[in-house]
Amino acid sequence: MNPFLDRECFLCITRLALNLSTLTSSSEKEIVDGALELSEDFAKVVKGRLSDYVELSSSIAEAVARRLGDPYALIKKVSMETATRLLPLAERYVSGGEDTLRRAASVAVTANALDFATGVYNVSLEVFAVEFERKLSEPFTIDHLDQLERDLEKAGTVLYVLDNAGECVLDLPLVKLLSGRAETIVAARGAPVFNDATIMEAEAAGLGKYAELTTTGCRVPGVSTLRCSAEFLQLLADADVVILKGQGNFQSFYEVAKVRGERAYYLLVPKCAPVARHLGVPVGSKVALAR
């Protein structure tokens, strides 16, 4: 089995089916029936994919899209609104000290906790808004930002791969800073997948003011050498600095390594035990990893 897959993952898959059905159904019977149908879909795609986390998650995403379309559309809208309300606080924090790269990265990583209502990693909007300022000042458990600073000093291009909608609003201070150091390209998902940011959310967040916007070219909650566009994979290979946000992108690190000879940077909060164990940190830690 893939190192990111263990028995806990199957509990998450079951919860995902129930949550999706709850989002899209109006009665208890419809919720149960819908969850059972989704569970059957998921069971079919999980078999034979236990050695490849990216392919498993991609197949689940496709099963959701076939049956439900874009069930997180409203959730993404609300998360964007919540993050926009927090953006002035984030910008004040970044400008409030000398180490602006570390401060902007702290905002981006703290924002990675804005991953609610998926049925797997839940946080209420109210709790997130209250906790956001407190978590900004927490130290990184893994901190390779000094190395990132050195790499940026000689970089001509930066590729920044987004994670969740909402969260991408709070990526703005870091993307703005990066754009002052090098030509910056921001990549969103190529089609709606769970609550991840597409180019529509990237544009709404204002990221296009500071960076060229593109997509991964596929409906994958991470990076896939089989499914991402040739154009995106070329950017991934050629950029002087690559920064990937979130747990899904980190769980794709072995795919990134297939096309990229240089290190990449992963900014995330590990939200489940398999990922936290792999990193050797507690769940909920702030991570800035060069790998």
3-state secondary structure of 13: helix
E strands, 44-165, where? 142-143, 157-161
Residue 35, number of CB atoms within 10 A of its CB: 20
What pTM did the predictor assign? 0.93
* 87-121 tens-digit pLDDT: 999 999 999 988 999 999 999 999 997 665 444 44
Q: Are 249 and 160 in contact (CB under 8 A)?
A: no
Other Cβ atoms closer than 10 A to 146 = 13
Integer-rounded Cα Rg, in Å, for the chain is 18
Q: Which amino acid is at 245?
A: K
- Those residues of the chain that have pLDDT short of 70 are 1, 48, 114-126
Q: Strand 287-290 vs strand 265-268: parallel, antiparallel, or unpaired?
A: antiparallel
How does pLDDT run across 205-225, given as a tens digit for each residue? 999 999 999 999 999 999 999
DSSP E strands: which ranges in the chain? 142-143, 157-161, 183-188, 212-215, 241-245, 265-268, 287-290
